[in-house]
Copies of this chain bind each other. A is one copy, B any other.
Amino acid sequence: MSLPHAILTALLEKPSSGLELTRRFDRSIGYFWSATHQQIYRELGKLEQAGRIRSLPSAAPARGQKKEYEVLAAGRAELSDWVRRSEEPKPTRDALLLRLRAAAVVGTEGFADELRRHLSLHRAQLDEYLAMEERQFPPERDTEADRLRHLVLRGGIELERFWTGWLTEALAEFERLGPG
């Protein structure tokens, strides 16, 4: 049940409409919890019905008209609870590692290309995170909230470093196995 909480977090950072949220998910929150606009609109409806957010009075209720939402006290309380609740980490589900294991059984022909492709995607993501780090966290920004958000970004950075490192190692192994 993370999506509603991701939305509450985003709305607390800045009240927004559904489309604005969708865009912010595409380039910020979504790096850790992606969502499409369909999911977001559906969830905004549920959150409003549950009394956790409300649409700003200025907003027209018509279709095609922008509708801005803000978080109510009940929404903040719910988010605060969620952060404190203890939750089990979800078991890993990674298709690439699974496919490599399958390749060990049915053969690796053509798989090196896929590894190269993933490597370049992860390198690009890593570069993007590093650029974000420079822009968003210059040394003078150092409030408690800044340090925490920086920590989250460093999580993303180190995760991409893991992928680029492992993929590089995997490609080296493939070259040792011979051209295929």
Contacts and interface: CB of A to CB of B under 8 A. Distances in A.
Given A33-B93, A162-B162, A107 B80 contact: yes
Interface stretch (A47-55, A61-69, A114-122): A114-122
Number of chain copies forming the complex: 2
B101 A149 contact: yes
B148 A158 contact: no
B159 A106 contact: no
B80 A177 contact: no
B148 A94 contact: no
A19 interface: no
25 contacts: A2-B93, A5-B99, A8-B102, A9-B98, A9-B101, A31-B92, A32-B97, A32-B98, A32-B101, A33-B93, A33-B94, A34-B93, A76-B106, A82-B99, A82-B102, A83-B103, A83-B108, A84-B111, A89-B96, A89-B118, A89-B121, A92-B156, A100-B152, A104-B152, A159-B162
